[in-house]
Amino acid sequence: MLEVNTLRNETDRITTGLAKRYFPDAEIAIADIIALDDRRKDLQTKADALLAERNTLSGEIGQLFKTGKKDEATAKREQVKGLKEEIETLQTEAATVDTDLENALLAVPNVPHGLVVKGHDEKDNEVFKAFAGDLPTLPDGAKPHWELADEYGIFSLELGVRTTGAGFPVFTGQGARLARSLVNLFLDSNTDAGYVEHQLPLLVNEESARATGQLPDKEGQMYHVTGDDLYLIPTSEVPLTNLYRGEIVDKADLPLKLTGYTPCFRREAGSYGAHVRGLNRVHQFDKVEIVELADPATSYERLDAMVAHVGKLLTDLGLPFRILRLCGGDMGFTSAMTYDFEVWSAAQERWLEVSSVSNFETYQSNRLKLRYREDKKTELTHTLNGSALALPRIIAALLENNQTPDGILLPEVLHTYVGKAKLEKI
């Protein structure tokens, strides 16, 4: 969330930035937050003054009893009792104001970076880097990946429905081998680039989900295990970033580079039609994530490096891709700048999003209370994350773009991992 002092001291910049998101009544929201913060400070000042007075009186009472001035001591004791009640009233009101202030701050999204354009939705996104080559030409009779999956034994949606429900694919045979190979390739590439691999919990508590911005923004998209009040992770960004919640790290150790592979779970409701068929939109999927905790002075350099890293993964896979810089209205609630990667699906003849790479600046770290130390001073870090990569649409594009009458050709980078150069019909 945004810092109150930033809202107070940079109101015009914040208001202008939030207009890129079409965030309604930004001026009113900021004014309400400042008023709540003023009330919080006033209550704290009054409570502190009464506490000091109570402590002084308490010290005097003992002395009065020692000198035999019982009546004066008793009167002061009654005075202390009254002060205690006033203090408790102030503290109760302060707790309510603190809750109201936090809720008001949580309702304000991050401020877009200056380069982010104003826009409502995906139609207003910028093409940051277009694909410069020739798009794949498929043979006659080419099929979408959900039909190829049956012929090649890659995955089954029907088995997922039988065991769980719609949107839970079951990968089998060479499809399971392909999925495992992609995970290993992505993890190896990430660790070679200096990211430290982690094996992570698949459930997080409410505090973790709130710290990275999934709550209260995305309750409806997460699976909630009500008996234990835990949430299945929508992305490994959540546990990875929360590993440093409440920490103070040394500036010399930045950037901290983390990676992890997990299944991811999303309840988001899908519409009907070919654009969500097969692996285009599912409730459970595998993804490898990269996260960086960075010095604010260099965080956008780190964002560029992360974008280049994801681009290399797609280049190694031989997939045509383009990069979009999202407009204000299409960015996630917590992001200051986001780049989306889209690969070309030749059989579906459309672009499929496979990765988002974002800089959250201090929006997450303020919730996380994650700081870095330089000499004796501490400041909030910047946090960044990106998919490197999510499997479903990568697999869809690999199957569709590389289909031939003799099988599905695999990119060379996968030959050793999969143990073969092409997938064959079963």
In tens, the pLDDT along 197-211 reads 999 999 999 999 999
- The last residue of one of the domains, among 106, 130, 163, is 106
Same domain for 168 and 69: no
Residue 68's pLDDT band (boundaries 50, 70, 90)?
Answer: confident
How many structural domains comprise the chain?
A: 2
The string of DSSP codes covering 186-250 is HHHHHHHTTPEEE---SEEEHHHHHHTT-TTT-GGGS-EETTTTEEE-SSTHHHHHHTTTT-EEE
Percent of the chain with pLDDT over 70: 98
- Residue 170 has what pLDDT? 98
Q: In this predicted structure, which of 132-136, 183-187, 240-244, 245-249 has the lowest mean pLDDT? A: 132-136
Q: Given a cut of 80, is residue 270 above it in pLDDT?
A: no
From the list 288, 314, 297, 266, the residue with the least C-alpha distance to 380 is 297
Taking the C-alpha atoms of residue 408 and residue 400, their distance in angstroms, rounded to an integer, is: 8
Q: In this predicted structure, which of 4-13, 148-157, 262-271, 302-311 has the lowest mean pLDDT? A: 262-271
Peptide bond into 239 cis (omega under 30): no
Average pLDDT score over residue span 171-177: 98
Q: Given a cut of 60, is residue 306 above it in pLDDT?
A: yes
Same domain for 319 and 204: yes
- The DSSP secondary-structure symbol of 320 reads -
**115 within a domain of the structure (yes/no):** no
Domain that holds residue 243: 122-423
Same domain for 282 and 169: yes
- Residue 275 has what pLDDT? 61
**253 within a domain of the structure (yes/no):** yes
Chain-centroid distance of CA 395 in Å reads 23
Residue 269's pLDDT band (boundaries 50, 70, 90)?
Answer: low
Residue 271's pLDDT band (boundaries 50, 70, 90)?
Answer: very low
Residue 268's pLDDT band (boundaries 50, 70, 90)?
Answer: confident
On whether the pTM is more than 0.75, the answer is yes
Residue 273's pLDDT band (boundaries 50, 70, 90)?
Answer: low
Same domain for 133 and 102: no
- Residue 401 has what pLDDT? 97
Report the CATH number that the domain containing residue 57 is assigned in CATH: 1.10.287.40
Q: Given a cut of 90, is residue 370 above it in pLDDT?
A: yes
From the list 135, 143, 126, the residue with the least C-alpha distance to 320 is 135
Arithmetic mean of pLDDT over the chain = 95
Same domain for 133 and 92: no
Q: Given a cut of 90, is residue 143 above it in pLDDT?
A: yes
Same domain for 132 and 86: no
